[in-house]
Structure 1
Amino acid sequence: MFTDGSATNSVERRFAEDLDVADEVIVYAKLPRGPRGFYIPTPVGNYSPDWAISFKKGAVKHIFFVAETKGTMDSLELRPIEQAKISCAKKLFNEISTTGVKYHDVDSYSSLLTVMETL
């Protein structure tokens, strides 16, 4: 898998490793970037979330999740353009999502699980 950041301990690499061993994860994909990849058009430019994840819930119900991994959850440390794109993506997903599909920005798998508990 190709993740952003070449370091073996990058945020995305650690996130993928945690997804690999999580019992509650059915399948996940690192979403491709670029003109042929997955992107959401926003007023401030195209935005590509990082991950699509399918979780088990109960025996047969699945929850689908689109996640953006960032090294920090502090919006003051993100570039203004990143903040704007994430804000647009949140608004879009909140409008088009069903109760089973969610979008959120996270900095680790444990923070993703915390978000999942509130769904």
Structure 2
Amino acid sequence: MEREIAEKLDTDQNVKFYCKLPRWFVVPTPLGDYNPDWAVVTEHDDKLYLVRETKSTHDRDGRRETENRKIDCGQAHFDALGVNFKVATSIYEVLSK
């Protein structure tokens, strides 16, 4: 899935920059460090900074509970910073606000 996302990000004209976040980029949580998947900068009318976690499903029951809790902590962290964060299952969700 990540390779497909990278290829599509690479060809999207609105994407100015993207990177697969390295292992050292972590959000400390009470459950341990959380490492989101992607950072993306797009340019429409203004710059939009996105952080995305790519998963095969939105179904929380299809993921480990610890993983869901770390994602919840990541959501709270990026919300506090005013950064658009979400779980995405497709390139369309990666690039949507």
- TM-score computed with the length of structure 1 as normaliser: 0.77
Structure 2: segments with no counterpart, 5+ residues: none
Match among 12, 22, 28 for residue 32 of structure 1: 22
Provide the residue aligned with 2:61 in structure 1. Answer: 76
| Structure 1 position 92 matched with structure 2 position 92 | no
Between Structure 1 and Structure 2, how many residues are aligned? Answer: 97
Q: What is the 5 A alignment of 1:1-119?
A: 11-33=1-23, 37-58=24-45, 61-97=46-82, 101-113=83-95, 115-116=96-97
Structure 1: segments with no counterpart, 5+ residues: 1-10
Compute the displacement of 1:112 (Å): 2.4
* Greater relative contact order structure (CA < 8 Å, 6+ sep): 2
Give the RMSD, CA atoms, in angstroms.
Answer: 1.0
Same amino acid, percent of matched pairs: 38
Q: Deviations over 1:23-42 (max 9, x none)?
A: 11001011111xxx100000
Inter-partner Cα distance in structure 1 for 2:91 and 2:14: 12
- TM-score computed with the length of structure 2 as normaliser: 0.94
- SS of residue matched to 2:75: helix
